[in-house]
Amino acid sequence: MAGLYIHIPFCRRRCNYCDFYFITNTALIDNFLAALSKELVVRANLLSGEQIETIYFGGGTPSLLAPTQIDTILNLIAKTYAVVSTVELTLEVNPEDVTEAYLHDLVRLGFNRLSLGVQSFRDSKLRWLSREHTAAQSCHALELAQAHVENVSIDLMFGIEHESLTEWEEELEMAISLQPKHLSTYSLTVEPRTLLEKLIKRGLRQPPLDAVQVQMFLLTMQRLREHGYEHYEVSNFAKPGFHSRHNRAYWNRVPYLGFGPSAHSFVITPHSEERFANQPSLKTYLEAPEYALSFREILSPKDIFNEMVLLGLRQGGGIDLSELEEKFCNFGTYFLTHLKQRTTKLESLKTEGLITIETQDAHQIIKLTDKGFTLADAIAESLFV
């Protein structure tokens, strides 16, 4: 099995917190689609023999594309790749782009999952984040989308300056009342070279407070679980049966190809595991999409081990130590010795209430607690080789 990610690098305007690659010159969309078509064909051999089970259109703003343009991409994918009939087909959509006609076209094209970039149900917060839509548009877009597609996800962001725990709780309650099948919740982070970073440096915005964000995250986990959502990855919650198959494939290290400027890929061959990414430059991409790589890396056994620890701990299911032992037994005693040497560290993390260590069918499973999820990356790094 494998997945495809299509990066549509166009936006109407810059959101102050966003560090994803995008441009606002939509006049180049046709040129981009021509280059994308070339890349889709040229890279197909990298997934030869693999069945495509998930396709995800991200951005940028994929909903800037006309249905006819999306249809052209999907037809080329169908001709070039072995796409299963049960493929999970996702499109990221901005609330202001949601109309009855657009949704009808998306369903006709086969989309069975939509991800709405709601971000907030408060107008003042949306303005702070430089978003174009209003809270009312978010609610209307979600209700309209749910009338056409069962599997609808929303993104929410917490922890902007002066936001109180009560205000965030009210947003969570609003989201819960609208009953999306999936929620992705993110704490505001100040990324390098973003407009938000510049505003903070000039004293025009205040940086987020870590302690407040931790309390908001703990509240998020509690409230969403109380309402039947499964916390299956650090930032992701879903009703049973509605986990994002595409994102779970990322975390489970399933091969995928990313297309478009800045898109990342992961492929597995009989002899190696490899990650590579396209340059974050539409100009370079348009000139020669098949050669627009920014890096290419063959993963070492150490890299693979650390990835499995990091990505496994981020998931609700945790890390199966037996799977790690099976994966690395061919590399001699080094990794197994490392695991045994970390026994004291694991017991310490357990005592601190950051992890649980369970035995399931003779398998040892390490899972993060709610407190542990607030320190997920740091805990993973403490177990790295």
What's CA 255's distance to the chain center, in Å? 15
78 and 154 in a single domain? The answer is yes
**Last residue in a domain, options 232, 250, 268:** 250
pLDDT of residue 332: 57
Is residue 290 in a domain?
Answer: no
222 and 313 in a single domain? The answer is no
Overall number of domains in the chain: 2
Neighbours of 357 (CB within 10 A): 15
206 and 305 in a single domain? The answer is no
185 and 328 in a single domain? The answer is no
Burial of 219 (0-12, 13-18, 19+ CB in 10 A): middle
pLDDT of residue 90: 99
229 and 366 in a single domain? The answer is no
pLDDT of residue 30: 98
Which pLDDT tens digit goes with each residue over 133-154? 999 999 999 999 999 999 999 9
43 and 169 in a single domain? The answer is yes
Give the whole-angstrom CA distance, residue 262 versus residue 217: 29
- For the chain, strand residue ranges (E) read 2-8, 51-59, 82-93, 113-119, 151-158, 182-187, 230-233, 236-238, 256-259, 264-268, 273-278, 293-298, 319-320, 355-360, 363-368
Which pLDDT tens digit goes with each residue over 96-105? 999 999 999 9
241 and 362 in a single domain? The answer is no
User: What is the enclosing helix (H) or strand (E) of 96?
Assistant: none
Point out the residues of the chain with pLDDT beneath 50.
none
Is residue 276 in a domain?
Answer: no
Is residue 48 in a domain?
Answer: yes
**Last residue in a domain, options 231, 250, 269:** 250
156 and 219 in a single domain? The answer is yes
pLDDT of residue 222: 99
Nearest to 309 by CA among 214, 378, 239: 378
Whether residue 60 is preceded by a cis peptide bond, meaning omega within 30 degrees of 0, is yes
145 and 32 in a single domain? The answer is yes
Is residue 286 in a domain?
Answer: no
Is residue 19 in a domain?
Answer: yes
CATH number (domain holding residue 354):
1.10.10.920
Residue-range definition of the domain harbouring residue 315: 301-385
Is residue 282 in a domain?
Answer: no
Is residue 256 in a domain?
Answer: no
Quote the DSSP letter at residue 338.
H
Letter string b/e over residues 154-188, b meaning 16 or more CB atoms within 10 A of that residue's CB? bbbbbbbeebeeebbeebbebbbebebbbbbbbbb
CATH number (domain holding residue 230):
3.20.20.70
232 and 330 in a single domain? The answer is no
pLDDT of residue 165: 98
pLDDT of residue 60: 95
pLDDT of residue 326: 81
245 and 309 in a single domain? The answer is no
Neighbours of 122 (CB within 10 A): 19
**Last residue in a domain, options 250, 269, 286:** 250
Is residue 287 in a domain?
Answer: no
Which pLDDT tens digit goes with each residue over 26-47? 999 999 999 999 999 999 999 9
355 and 227 in a single domain? The answer is no
